[in-house]
């Protein structure tokens, strides 16, 4: 059964608030859990960059700190 048919069947099903909250909670936990597992796996293999996107700017004072003398 294709996913679209399963979703249509679920949307046509009569349910009370308790059942709806169970389905919604399962979906939220599934999405959060899947992304958490992917982050964990990518981080452990070194594929996820944990460093900041932009390195901190170097600041220096005194003679030679400008780009003129370089």
Contact 41, 33 (CB under 8 A): no
Question: pTM of the predicted model, to two decimals?
Answer: 0.40
CA distance 33 to 20: 20
Burial pattern 20-39, b for ≥16 Cβ within 10 A else e, equals eeeeeeeeeeeeeeeeeeee
Contact 42, 48 (CB under 8 A): yes
Spans of all domains in the chain: 17-49
Could you read off the pLDDT tens digit of each residue along the chain, which spans 70 residues? Answer: 788 998 888 889 898 999 999 988 888 888 878 888 788 788 777 766 655 556 666 666 666 666 665 5
What is the predicted pLDDT for the residue at 16? 93
């Amino acid at each position: 059964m294709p996913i679209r048919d399963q979703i249509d069947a679920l949307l046509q099903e009569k349910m009370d608030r308790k059942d709806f909250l169970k389905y919604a909670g399962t979906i939220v936990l599934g999405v959060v859990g899947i992304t958490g597992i992917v982050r964990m796996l990518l981080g452990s293999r070194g594929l996820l960059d944990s460093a900041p996107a932009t390195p901190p700017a170097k600041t220096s004072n005194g003679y030679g700190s400008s780009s003129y003398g370089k």
